[in-house]
Amino acid sequence: MLINLSELFTLEGKEKTYTPEIEMDIYHGPNGDCEVVSKEPVILRIINLGKRKLELEGKAKLTLKIPCDRCLDLVEVPLEFEIIRTVDLSEKDEPSVEIQSEQPYVSGYNLDVDQLVCDELILNLPMKILCSENCKGICNRCGTNLNHETCDCDTRSLDPRMAVIQDIFKQYKEV
C-alpha cells in the first residue's frame, strides 16, 4: 500500500497515524521466498520534523512459513517488530543513486509500506530457524529426513589420512 506523504508537509510538527494493510502474500527474502501465513495491519505514526524530514514509528506483526535449517520442513515463525526510521525528502531533489538505494521504500512523495516492512524483516528474521530444538536434520548421503524415518547409510566418519588407502582398496575390489 502507498501512503501519500505530501499532506504532512503543510505544518512542522504535524503527525498522522495510519493503519495500512500489508498486501504481500509472499516475502521475497535473501534466502528465498516465504509464504506470509498471517498478517495484521501496520500501525504507522508519521511526524513532520521540519525541513522536509519525516520520522516513521510503527509496529508490524506477521507470521512467515520458513524452512527449518536442518531438515527443511516448513515452520511457522511469528514475527513482531518495531519500525523507527527517518526519511529525508530534501535529498530526493538530487539525482543520486546512492541516496535512492538507502530508502527504496520512498518514491517521490509516496511511502511503500510493503517495501518498508520487507526492509525491516531482513533485520528482524532469526539467524537460525529450527522446527524443534532436537531436530535431527537430513542424512547427508541419501537425503532422508531423520526426524520421520531412519536410513541404512554408513555414518562412520573415516580418518581423512586413510582416504588414499581406501581408494586403493576400491580399485582392487572384486566385482
Sequence-distant (6+) residues with CB within 8 A of 171 are none
Q: Strands, DSSP E only, in 89-140?
A: 106-107, 110-112
Verdict on whether the full-model pTM lies above 0.75? no
pLDDT tens digits, the chain, 175 residues: what are they? 788 777 777 778 888 888 889 889 999 888 788 999 999 999 999 888 888 888 899 999 999 999 999 999 999 999 999 999 888 877 555 544 444 456 778 877 788 888 889 888 988 999 999 999 999 999 888 888 889 988 888 766 667 787 788 778 778 766 5
Strand (E) or helix (H) holding 35 = strand 32-39
For residue 13, the tally of other CB atoms under 10 A from its CB is 8
